[in-house]
Amino acid sequence: MLEVPLDRRDRAPLYRQIAQHLSRMIERGALAPGQKLPSARELASSLGVSRTTANLAYDALEGEGRIRVRGRSGTFVVSRPDGELLVSGGVPLPQPLDLASGEPSPDLLPDPSHLRFLREGLGEGDLSLFAPSPVPGREALRRALVRHAATRGIPARWEDLVVTSGGQEGLCLAFEALKSLGVRRVFFEELTYPDAPRIARGVGLSACPLPFEEAPLVEALGEAGPGDGVYLVPSFHNPTGRTLSMEARKALLERSAARGFWILEDDTYGELRYGETSVPALKALEGSDRVVYVGSFSQVLLPGWRTGYVLAPEAVLGPLCALKALRVGALSSLVQGLVLRFLEGGGLEDALSRNRGVLSHRMRRFREALRNVLGERAPLLPEGGVFLWLDTAPFSGDKARSLLAARGVLVVSGQEFCLRRRTERAVRLCVARLGLRELDEAAGILGTLVGR
Amino acid sequence: MLEVPLDRRDRAPLYRQIAQHLSRMIERGALAPGQKLPSARELASSLGVSRTTANLAYDALEGEGRIRVRGRSGTFVVSRPDGELLVSGGVPLPQPLDLASGEPSPDLLPDPSHLRFLREGLGEGDLSLFAPSPVPGREALRRALVRHAATRGIPARWEDLVVTSGGQEGLCLAFEALKSLGVRRVFFEELTYPDAPRIARGVGLSACPLPFEEAPLVEALGEAGPGDGVYLVPSFHNPTGRTLSMEARKALLERSAARGFWILEDDTYGELRYGETSVPALKALEGSDRVVYVGSFSQVLLPGWRTGYVLAPEAVLGPLCALKALRVGALSSLVQGLVLRFLEGGGLEDALSRNRGVLSHRMRRFREALRNVLGERAPLLPEGGVFLWLDTAPFSGDKARSLLAARGVLVVSGQEFCLRRRTERAVRLCVARLGLRELDEAAGILGTLVGR
């Protein structure tokens, strides 16, 4: 075990804290030159962080020349004589350019005026912040969230909504509720948010692959039936940024209605539209009676609040609430009360519209910079969200990640999003953490690796 | 489906809101005289509340003469001609005496001075309240909670602690983590907190019975091994109020060390000691390396905050954190930040010591009143907690519950705590919701049912 003190109060992202601490241990000799470090998987498990976080920490250390990954033989502390990249104690190490983390940069968090606003809420002596809440959430908050979901075009009733601890709990409960209704297998796109199939398998469902291209995707569901589910991120897809066309959405819903399979719609990034065309949620369309919608509130704005919601058909709501009662209970009344104030006072809408502006600006600028260095190989501008998918052929995603880390740019290997084992020659780029200049700089370095 | 609007802002407990709404529907004729109502199980599932809550609502309505339970044929709205107990529209219905709910009465919630205290916290513009937290929780809070756990005698390190969304999530993750370490069956006392075996079965473990008496309980574990776990509420047991003796605790730990089985210690009420003798947690004793400790923070004080913690051996922590990352993620940073302020400012210790005083006073007074009407049949005074166990022979717990509800006293039938189907002739009484006079009154009514 390698103990690393983790504390979020200094606002450094988790991977950075791990990297800094290990860097200090290497500097002080607590980790000796040449010493083998635990694998990223072992590190993640012992610290209770995700593998992506552990990988990012190692990438950052590699980018600083502190450690070296020697293929399958493991990860080692760079020995001082060979460590040409090693910066000596007193000089601050360069901060890697982080295109990997989905955590928002500090300027995307609500500003202190919102804290004043919450403070006034507490000032009214509202003891309901201490009292228990019904398992599906308080009525007032559920009503406010349904009004919020209406901005995605969804015509739901407040009784259809359950407040959850982030989107993750929503996914987990939705998969289990579908299982209790007889679902046995769930289809996932070949490239998908990797926790989704992990959760599905964890609750005893089998995960089947779907082609990623629209037409074959819809086609492949021709054989699905009432014992099946489909997990989709239809808007601003993680990891690729792709948005399903309206034609594909309608075809999917028709198939679902005709064949009786369920759709789990993950709309985590749905609020971050930059494009000109309206992109309503699947759940907003006619014939979406078999769609379970999971919203996150909000991944790129309030990541620490852990508030999400599920909008589900009546048949799913019953088992979902029963499971929630048994597993975690209601969301904290404190969070519910403060989220409600944030929504009712317009704080969320303000903050969201500011973030849409900032992120859209970053995305356009970054894509432009990529086009300058990569030409036709640059990814298309997505209609929203925070992700771009970069083809790195002939390098595998893992190799590209490692080469980029050594140049101080952190990305996530495309490999991590593959449903089945195969070699993905791409990496995922995320604009949530970097400012405009850093994005320009990162684009330049990406250009040297995969440029014309 | 029977829709009932639920809102906690008026501070009425959940069952009461349901009862009042149904009462209004009956009054207005929306529910017709003689109409059959959904079973308590159906009602609970459709509203997303616990069965106990649904039962309480029906009991309250029965106590008011609004509905009548006709054995197996179902529950019916009382028809007006026969409804002698029915109070006419204008007259306020008597509030039932609630010895069933574990929710604290409003005077046990923190007072407005604590809200001021939290407000000042927010005033400092601490943006960490918005930022993500590591999955096991923030270091500062984990350190503070370990100091808090020290009041239960536990000598843990902060790295051993994981912050959870209430004790319920803690139980759920602990059972799953033990399962991943090879545990296949878990022993429960014959009378036990019913959600515990429900959760265990839900994650695929089998639930085996343990005798309730101390010596046979320890004896029965002679055959347990590394593939087994034992769930216990050693202090101020739910439902009986019993506290395991130090001899039994030591014997249990010796067996656990010798045979390699795991112990899951639920210490939800452990902080509410009234007795003179120190009752440290099992986890505080020598040889507790195989004890996973679940604390709730705090059931009878901050029920709406949904904050709990798990103290676990290293082997359990890894899988527990990995499961937490996948299932729900970290606890909200907002809750973590405000709980930390509450702890660091001494708010929790103040509120706890006040509540210990209030509840101890209630418990002694109630037990005295019961002794006056029941003599030797009165339960013994427990060493802490909020529960008393009342023998209702010759009536079954279910029958006693129903008879008491008709007299305006709500209790929980002993039946609900039985691990296996058998007839329990007892009910659980809880002092969390009633004031001293109401407790006297309730004791009088209990006396008429099961008196000498």
Helix orientation angle between A51-63 and A397-406, rounded to the nearest 10 degrees: 40
Q: Supply angle C-alpha A116, A134, A262, rounded to 5.
A: 105
Strands B36-37 and B75-77: antiparallel
Q: Please give the pLDDT value at position A189.
A: 96
Q: Tell me what percent of the residues of chain A surpass a pLDDT of 70.
A: 93
Q: How many CA atoms lie within 13 A of B189 on its CB side?
A: 25
pLDDT higher than threshold 90 for residue A63: no
Is the previous residue joined to B113 through a cis bond, with omega within 30 degrees of 0?
Answer: no
Question: What's the whole-number average pLDDT of chain A?
Answer: 88
Say how far apart CA A54 and CA A19 lie, in whole Å: 9
pLDDT band, residue A16 (cuts 50/70/90): confident
C-beta atoms of A103 and B132 within 8 A: yes
pLDDT band, residue A352 (cuts 50/70/90): confident
Q: Tell me what percent of the residues of chain B surpass a pLDDT of 90.
A: 57
pLDDT band, residue B8 (cuts 50/70/90): low
A130 vs B3, B305, B327: nearest CB: B305
B381 touches chain A (CB under 8 A): no
Q: Please give the pLDDT value at position B18.
A: 86
Testing the interface with A: which of B160, B161, B332, B352 to mutate, by most A Cβ within 10 A? B332
pLDDT higher than threshold 50 for residue A89: no
Question: Which residues of chain B make contact with A109, given a CB cutoff of 8 A?
Answer: 127, 130-131
Question: Which residues of chain A make contact with B165, given a CB cutoff of 8 A?
Answer: 165, 328-329, 331-332
pLDDT band, residue A86 (cuts 50/70/90): very low
β partners of residue B276: none
Interface of A with B in 280-309 (CB under 8 A): 302-307
Q: For residue B304, give how far its alpha carbon lies from the nearest alpha carbon of chain A (Å).
A: 4
A335 touches chain B (CB under 8 A): yes
Say how far apart CA B446 and CA B409 lie, in whole Å: 8
Q: Please give the pLDDT value at position B278.
A: 80
Testing the interface with A: which of B335, B336, B341, B433 to mutate, by most A Cβ within 10 A? B335
Strands B387-391 and B426-430: antiparallel
pLDDT band, residue B90 (cuts 50/70/90): very low
Interface of B with A in 139-168 (CB under 8 A): 139-140, 159, 162, 165-166, 168
CATH numbers and ranges of domains, chain A = 1-95 (1.10.10.10), 114-347 (3.40.640.10)
- With beta carbons less than 8 A apart as the criterion, state whether A308 and A314 touch: no
Q: For residue B424, give how far its alpha carbon lies from the nearest alpha carbon of chain A (Å).
A: 24
Residues 6+ apart with CB under 8 A from A29: none
Question: Which residues of chain A make contact with B159, given a CB cutoff of 8 A?
Answer: 3
Torsion of CA A246, A248, A253, A254, to 10 degrees: 110
Tokens of A427: 């990496």
Q: For residue B318, give how far its alpha carbon lies from the nearest alpha carbon of chain A (Å).
A: 5
Q: Please give the pLDDT value at position B194.
A: 94
Separation in Å, CA A269 to CA A145, A152, A273, A295, B317 = 16, 11, 8, 8, 32
pLDDT band, residue B421 (cuts 50/70/90): confident
Amino acid at B325: A
Q: Please give the pLDDT value at position A87.
A: 44
Tens digit of each residue's pLDDT (9 = 90 or more) over B15-48: 888 888 888 878 777 777 888 888 888 888 767 7
Task: Give the lowest-confidence range in A36-45, A209-218, A263-272, B10-19.
Answer: B10-19
Task: Give the lowest-confidence range in A91-105, A272-286, B227-241, B262-276.
Answer: A91-105
Q: Please give the pLDDT value at position B85.
A: 41
pLDDT higher than threshold 90 for residue A110: no
Task: Give the lowest-confidence range in A10-24, A70-84, A308-322.
Answer: A70-84
Tens digit of each residue's pLDDT (9 = 90 or more) over A131-179: 889 999 999 999 999 988 888 888 899 999 999 999 999 999 999 999 9
Question: Which residues of chain B make contact with A340, given a CB cutoff of 8 A?
Answer: none
pLDDT higher than threshold 50 for residue A3: yes
Nearest residue on chain B to A10, alpha-carbon basis: B128
A113 touches chain B (CB under 8 A): no
- With beta carbons less than 8 A apart as the criterion, state whether B249 and B399 touch: no
Question: What's the whole-number average pLDDT of chain B?
Answer: 88
Torsion of CA B424, B427, B428, B433, to 10 degrees: 160
Interface of A with B in 177-236 (CB under 8 A): 195, 198-199, 202
Quick one: which H or E segment has residue B199?
helix B195-202
Tens digit of each residue's pLDDT (9 = 90 or more) over A288-342: 999 999 998 777 788 888 999 999 999 999 999 999 999 999 999 989 988 898 8
pLDDT band, residue B368 (cuts 50/70/90): very high
Strands A426-430 and A387-391: antiparallel
pLDDT higher than threshold 70 for residue A395: yes
Where in A255-301 does DSSP place strands (E)?
Answer: 262-266, 291-296
A329 vs B9, B138, B168: nearest CB: B168
Average pLDDT, integer, range A406-412 = 94
pLDDT higher than threshold 80 for residue A387: yes
Q: Tell me what percent of the residues of chain B surpass a pLDDT of 70.
A: 93
Interface of A with B in 41-70 (CB under 8 A): 44-50
DSSP category for residue B389:
E
> Whose CA is closest to B157, among B175, B173, B145?
B145
Highest mean pLDDT among A85-89, A218-222, A341-345: A218-222
Task: Give the lowest-confidence range in A90-94, A109-113, A316-320.
Answer: A90-94
Quote ipTM for the complex: 0.79
Q: Please give the pLDDT value at position B82.
A: 38
Task: Give the lowest-confidence range in A303-312, A353-362, B298-307.
Answer: B298-307
A332 touches chain B (CB under 8 A): yes
Q: For residue B412, give how far its alpha carbon lies from the nearest alpha carbon of chain A (Å).
A: 19
pLDDT higher than threshold 50 for residue B87: no
DSSP, collapsed to helix, strand or coil, labels residue B330 as coil
B338 vs A140, A166, A334: nearest CB: A334
